Structure 1
Amino acid sequence: MRGIRQDIQGLRALAVTAVVLDHAAVPGVAGGYIGVDMFFVVSGFLITGQLLRRLRKTGRIGFADFYARRARRILPASFTVLALTVGGVFLFVPPTLRAQAMTDAAAVALYVPNYVFAVRGTDYLANTTPSVFQHYWSLGVEEQFYLLWPALLGVAWVLLRRRRRAIAAVLGVLAIVSLVVGIWLTRTNEPWAFFALWPRAWELAAGGLLAIAAPTVRRLLPAWGARILGWAGVAGIVVGCVVFTADTTFPGTAALLPVLATAAVIAAGEVPARGSVVSLLRLRPFQFLGAISYSLYLVHWPLEQLPQAAVGYEHPLPLYITLALAVLAVPLAWIMYRWLENPVRHARFFAKARPRRSLFAALAGSSVLAAVSVVALVGAANATPSTGRVVAATPPSVPLQETSFVPANLKPALTQAQNDNPALYSDGCELNFSQSTPHPCASGPSTAPTVVLWGDSAAAQWAPGLQQAVESAGDRFVTQTKSGCASTLIDHVRNGQPYPSCDAWRTNVLAQLKKNPPAVVVLASYDNEELPKGKNAEQQWADGLANTISQIPSQTRVLLMSDSPDFGVNPVDCLSQHLTDAKACAQPKSKALSSPGRTAAQNAAKQTRAQLIDLTDYFCTDTVCPAIVGNTLIYRDSHHLTASFSSALAPALSAKLAPYLP
């Protein structure tokens, strides 16, 4: 590689521009997230090139020097933005999200944020309340790659006696394995496919393999071929940015487009050719943005997200604001590049010292930031936002009497809402996404008539209240629930892909119902479950309900639970920012009850033998659906009930169920 590659600097500009415009929600650039994949290829190419030159010159990697250089290049800007964002969290982020944000900050300081997001099941492309540290996931992947790749390359260099083709073949096999794992995980567990190193390593390895092949590319690729290859690569990048959306199944095979397109541009840049894509990428604006791309990537995300958190996620910032923030990120990134990145990277104190000085500074910085984050985490977790006022513990009633503020005796407290789940979760009765063997959990007299609750997590939310209502009638209560899997026999998908474990589970549950018909089956599902695209959603629900009801034994009475309101965003976060005005967090009734499955259930109750159980009057007034009734918080997230409110509905459920129970 000859000096600073202007084409690569221009590629960095394209990549960061795509990401920033996507995060600013600019129309027409919904696929801008592929900019991260471009960065991966560029990083793999440059790092592998540096390591190969060191190996050819000295025969060794020089791990301490390599990691010291990486630390000086990456950590000063990273840690500075991290520290400033931690401060921003306590100024702008809702109190209910601060503990999670501090967990993320600690993970960033320890170089593992991508695994925190993977374990949490974060949907990067469809997250309505994203972490202000979410963009650090890609740095985690790169840092972990830097830890392993030099060792792999060095071992291959020694064992294969510097034979470039043999080294490329071995590393290529590892890259192919990573790609296959990524495609498989995208279909089975998309968060891990998106955030983890092993399904993403092939993207960095693609750049590394190109670095190994660079001499061959320079020797064999003609100038006319370089021109075609380079412009085709840029076209592929543009197509990905424009055509891909949040609904695209990603990474999977879709990631091949940005990776191969970026590799094509880099390969074309190896061959001098008049009229090539380099003539575009070497223009001054591309060079400027490429130079500050790292700082711009770090700065732009918290700059967009902290104001959004301040106004509330239920009120998305308008385009002119997000675009203005994206523009503001450019001079801020330049300041950080000019006065932090470069000075620290080239500082004599580090550059002329032994590598251990840089590594010690990196370790010290990580430890301090991790410790600060943990202390802040403890403080945030123990904070309980409320007005200090107390209200009476009144049960839900009709007409609904909403509470207009956040009471001190709120049950559960805002900071505990997400953990206020039905007991069937801790008891192992709620199946996860991969399980397909039914796991019914029963309570009540074993000889009594049985009432089965069947459905997804939106069915599980009714379990506390239903169990009390059924057992008070002297009957036996059984749950059959699985996350993200409606009992309605619709063509279910998950993250845009088939959901075979759901299909198998529903078939198995139906077999059990036919073998031992219960007295009553209560069907409940999230009415906005993901369905195949291109078909009328309401019709899919109607057909699925009719199919389900027809297969349930004729001697079993079928009840349809009308789903709880869907807020679209978490009202808990809104409440923590509007302690004295809880009404600001209510949703219009017309919006909260607009799901296609709701209408289908109402029609099914008229057209089939099923009966509808509708508690909407306990959730909504004539115009709005509030978040607090009495001293009870209704929701633990955007559409799931707290176990506390579900239990409080037991008397109402008893009254609704009485005509249908044995």
Structure 2
Amino acid sequence: MISNDLNGSSYFRFVDGLRAIAVTSVVFYHLGVPYVSGGYVGVDIFFVISGFLIINQILFGLKKGSFSFSDFWSRRALRILPPYLLVVLTSTIVALYVLVLPSEFEEFGQEVIYSAGMVANQLFLDQQGYFDTESGSKILLHLWSLSVEEQFYLFAPLLLWLAYRLRISILGFGVVVAITSLVGCIYYTGTGITKNYAFYLMPFRAGEFVVGGAMLGAVSYLQRLPAVAIEVIGVLGIVLIAYAVFCFNSQTPFPSYWAMLPVVGTAMVIGAGVALRRGVGTWWLATPPMVGIGVVSYAWYLWHWPALALARIYNFGNPSPKWMAAVGVLSFALAICTHIWIERPILTWRREKGKYRLGWYPAINGVVACIIACIAGLGFVYLAPKIVVNLSPLLASIEPYPSNGMACNLGVIESTTACLTYLDGKRPILVFGDSHAGVSYGAIEAAYHNPAMAGLMLPNCPSIFDIRVVGFQATTEANCVDLKSRGLAQLETDVHAKSAILISLWTMYGKWSGEPGPGEQGRFLAELGADAPAPAQRDFYQRKLTETIEKLHSLGVERIALFAPVPEMPRFAPDCVVRALRYGFDVDELCSVTQAASKDRRTGAMQLLEAVAAQFPYVRIIDPVPAMCDDTWCRPYRHNAILYRDINHLLPAGVRAVIDANRETFDWVMGSK
């Protein structure tokens, strides 16, 4: 993303044109421009360009005896940090007016800290995958790539200097680094479920820089070829880049070996461009429009993502096409201003310095500025959340989930010894189900003042025995089967529950109309050991739930309550409600679901639960609707309390609201009456 020359005088205009391709690919991809489904490869193009320029600058200085670590790192600091820290500072100021939740301020504060420390790539690797939907609200997500570059700028001169001093073949050293990096890149590329180490970590991207650095050395060999052959190489390079930009998508395993297409394509264009200076395949890259975009590419890359992320947050995750277009135009205008008022004056000052060494002062000042930015990030982490909570009583209603430490989380515990000690001879109430059971357990326990309770709970694992759920990751399916098998064995031998509450998001499992088609995606139910969903899903669902109730009753469970599915909200409740109130928007229109729409969503599951409950005098239904709904809306908030933690999981206040609305049934199943 830089435009330095290689030896103090050379300058290749077409390289700025390559930057233009890279930045427009990335920006258009993020803005959702049609057909630019692989625009994220623009980052790889930047990496190759950086390797071409930086590695050869270092080697040139080493050969001439003029290389200086202080000058190198000071030049990098002057080029990268002023626009970089300006964007971080501006994002911080705007975030004060856009963010509303304590968790948002804490997460953004972490982004600032890690970005200022040039290790943002590690933060986002730890948090999630690049293509996850929630990544769109991470304001400084794009700075992972700058962290990779800065880490390369830190280690590259040290390694090249060492290799040069030890008279190690630079070519051989580069080949070893490139091959090792590529192998690691292929091996550590994530699947979309596992962490994508290869995407975020510098060692697995180092090969891309090395490929770029090798191109100047390859020029002498290219120039031995006929001009037509060199032209073909340049054109093929453009074709490879175009294929990646327009044919890759979020499902492409990346970087892996797929990254070789844009990387090799960029290297081919650079090699052909340097060899011919003005070839058919590269002349258009040197035209004024392409060079103009390339010159502001770094600043445009810096500005576009924070503007887009803040627009998403302000628009509740769904900015309109007009907003997206405005983000593109605004970020480009900011890029031009940044270039004119920051980048160009610094470049002019550097040229005026001429042959004088910069020394350590720019680098040291850059470090100090980054430390100040870290301190600002700490303020977001520790101070801003407290201020925000004081401004909104609704936020104060979000309390942690109470729990006794889950001594009796059956199926998870290997031994029931501690559980039996906790129960002290009492027969517990069993809470059985998926993540919805998990978030309800502690609130039920607190509401009834710590009665004897046991859990059989795992996310994505419905409260039905002898089934597997098709549609999750294989390990998730296997863990669910294993948990219920071990938990059932513990119920049969040691932990004799007297009653049970079955809590699941019943609407998520099975298929309520028609049959699963070949290859159809969904959370379908299947027989244990079966490779495909069971036919007649609804009938199978009902039969297995009936058998589950009969099994529990045969184990001495005298009373069973079926916790019906909660109304599902259109957006994550806490940030939606608080944001709508802060911005002066209609809370119900944005954050609530109509009673009619909720009823349509729940109809199939409610009919099934009612049919099952009707078969047994010892089974009752707990319906959350009276706690959340009136005749018009089902709301994620009530009075001065938020009831949901996301779109369907309840907060403790939500569970208490359901208990209050179903007090008689809860007292019955809890043994209070």
Q: Does 1:337 align with 2:317?
A: no
Q: Distance in 2 between matches of 1:436 and 1:45?
A: 53
Q: Does 1:413 align with 2:396?
A: yes
Q: Does 1:262 align with 2:246?
A: no
Q: Report the counterpart of residue 427 of structure 2 in structure 1.
A: 448
Q: Which residue of the other structure, out of 166, 179, 183, is the alignment partner of 2:172? A: 166
Q: Report the counterpart of residue 481 of structure 2 in structure 1.
A: 507
Q: Does 1:632 align with 2:660?
A: no
Q: Distance in 2 between matches of 1:17 and 1:295?
A: 12
Shift of 1:337: 1.0
Q: Does 1:587 align with 2:592?
A: yes
Q: Does 1:120 align with 2:93?
A: no
**More relative contact order, 1 or 2 (CA 8 Å, 6+ apart):** 1
Q: Does 1:105 align with 2:112?
A: yes
- Give the aligned residue type for 1:19: V
Q: Distance in 2 between matches of 1:244 and 1:94?
A: 36
Shift of 1:526: 8.7
Aligned residue runs from structure 1 range 483-632, under 5 A: 489-493=468-472, 499-517=473-491, 520=500, 522=502, 524-525=504-505, 535-537=519-521, 540=524, 543=533, 546=540, 555-556=551-552, 561-577=563-579, 578-579=581-582, 582-583=587-588, 585-589=590-594, 593=598, 601-602=605-606, 605=609, 614-632=623-641
Q: Does 1:150 align with 2:130?
A: no
Q: SS where residue 180 of structure 1 aligns?
A: helix
Q: Distance in 2 between matches of 1:294 and 1:152?
A: 26
Contact kept, 8 Å, 1:438 with 1:509, in 2: the verdict is no
User: Does 545-554 or 192-201 show the bigger shift?
Assistant: 545-554
Q: Which residue of the other structure, out of 65, 69, 73, is the alignment partner of 1:63? A: 69
Q: Report the counterpart of residue 642 of structure 1 in structure 2.
A: 651
Aligned residue runs from structure 1 range 43-62, under 5 A: 43-58=50-65, 62=68
Aligned residue runs from structure 1 range 400-479, under 5 A: 408=393, 410=394, 413=396, 417=398, 420-421=400-401, 423=403, 444=423, 448=427, 451-455=430-434, 457-467=435-445, 476-479=453-456
Aligned residue runs from structure 1 range 295-444, under 5 A: 295-309=299-313, 311-314=314-317, 316-348=318-350, 352-385=356-389, 408=393, 410=394, 413=396, 417=398, 420-421=400-401, 423=403, 444=423
Q: SS where residue 577 of structure 2 aligns?
A: helix
Aligned residue runs from structure 1 range 124-139, under 5 A: 124-127=131-134, 130-139=137-146
Q: Which residue of the other structure, out of 41, 55, 71, is the alignment partner of 2:48? A: 41
Contact kept, 8 Å, 1:176 with 1:202, in 2: the verdict is yes
User: Does 532-541 or 457-466 show the bigger shift?
Assistant: 532-541
Q: SS where residue 649 of structure 1 aligns?
A: helix
Q: Report the counterpart of residue 93 of structure 1 in structure 2.
A: 99
Between the two proteins, the alignment pairs up a number of residues equal to 619
Contact kept, 8 Å, 1:102 with 1:376, in 2: the verdict is yes
Contact kept, 8 Å, 1:437 with 1:508, in 2: the verdict is no
- Give the aligned residue type for 2:504: A
Q: Distance in 1 between matches of 2:600 and 2:11?
A: 55
Q: Does 1:75 align with 2:78?
A: no
Q: SS where residue 486 of structure 2 aligns?
A: helix
Contact kept, 8 Å, 1:186 with 1:252, in 2: the verdict is no
Q: SS where residue 39 of structure 2 aligns?
A: coil
Q: Report the counterpart of residue 395 of structure 1 in structure 2.
A: none
Contact kept, 8 Å, 1:44 with 1:205, in 2: the verdict is yes
Q: Distance in 2 between matches of 1:278 and 1:360?
A: 39
Q: Percent identity over the alignment?
A: 25
TM-score by length of 2: 0.78
Q: Distance in 2 between matches of 1:521 and 1:242?
A: 51
Contact kept, 8 Å, 1:571 with 1:637, in 2: the verdict is yes
Q: SS where residue 134 of structure 1 aligns?
A: coil
- Give the aligned residue type for 2:524: Q
The change in CA–CA distance for 1:249 and 1:356 in structure 2 (over 3 A counts) is: same
The change in CA–CA distance for 1:525 and 1:346 in structure 2 (over 3 A counts) is: farther
Q: SS where residue 269 of structure 2 aligns?
A: helix
Q: Report the counterpart of residue 397 of structure 1 in structure 2.
A: none
Per-residue deviation, residues 347-396 of structure 1 (Å, max 9, x unmatched): 25876453211112212211222223333544312213577xxxxxxxxx
TM-score by length of 1: 0.79
Q: Distance in 2 between matches of 1:38 and 1:52?
A: 21
- Give the aligned residue type for 2:322: Y
Shift of 1:295: 0.8
Q: Which residue of the other structure, out of 207, 210, 220, is the alignment partner of 2:212? A: 207
Contact kept, 8 Å, 1:522 with 1:560, in 2: the verdict is yes
Unaligned runs of 5+ in 1: 388-405, 494-498
Contact kept, 8 Å, 1:421 with 1:642, in 2: the verdict is yes
User: Does 127-136 or 62-71 show the bigger shift?
Assistant: 127-136
Per-residue deviation, residues 113-154 of structure 1 (Å, max 9, x unmatched): 222333333655412751222222211121122222222333
- Report the RMSD for the aligned CA atoms in angstroms: 4.2
- Give the aligned residue type for 1:374: L
Larger Cα-atom Rg:
2
- Give the aligned residue type for 1:508: D
Q: Distance in 1 between matches of 2:401 and 2:572?
A: 15
Q: Distance in 2 between matches of 1:53 and 1:104?
A: 36
The change in CA–CA distance for 1:584 and 1:631 in structure 2 (over 3 A counts) is: same
Q: Distance in 2 between matches of 1:108 and 1:24?
A: 23
Per-residue deviation, residues 544-593 of structure 1 (Å, max 9, x unmatched): 78487599696236976544444353332233331576445432237985
Q: Distance in 2 between matches of 1:202 and 1:599?
A: 55
Contact kept, 8 Å, 1:13 with 1:290, in 2: the verdict is yes
Q: SS where residue 188 of structure 1 aligns?
A: coil
Shift of 1:297: 0.8
Contact kept, 8 Å, 1:588 with 1:625, in 2: the verdict is yes
Q: Report the counterpart of residue 529 of structure 2 in structure 1.
A: none
The change in CA–CA distance for 1:528 and 1:230 in structure 2 (over 3 A counts) is: farther
The change in CA–CA distance for 1:184 and 1:114 in structure 2 (over 3 A counts) is: closer
Q: Distance in 2 between matches of 1:282 and 1:570?
A: 48
Shift of 1:17: 0.7
Q: Distance in 2 between matches of 1:333 and 1:75?
A: 15
Q: Which residue of the other structure, out of 436, 455, 458, is the alignment partner of 1:481? A: 458
Shift of 1:294: 0.2
The change in CA–CA distance for 1:329 and 1:216 in structure 2 (over 3 A counts) is: same
Q: SS where residue 33 of structure 1 aligns?
A: helix
Shift of 1:112: 2.2
- Give the aligned residue type for 1:506: C
Q: Distance in 2 between matches of 1:608 and 1:256?
A: 57
The change in CA–CA distance for 1:336 and 1:363 in structure 2 (over 3 A counts) is: same
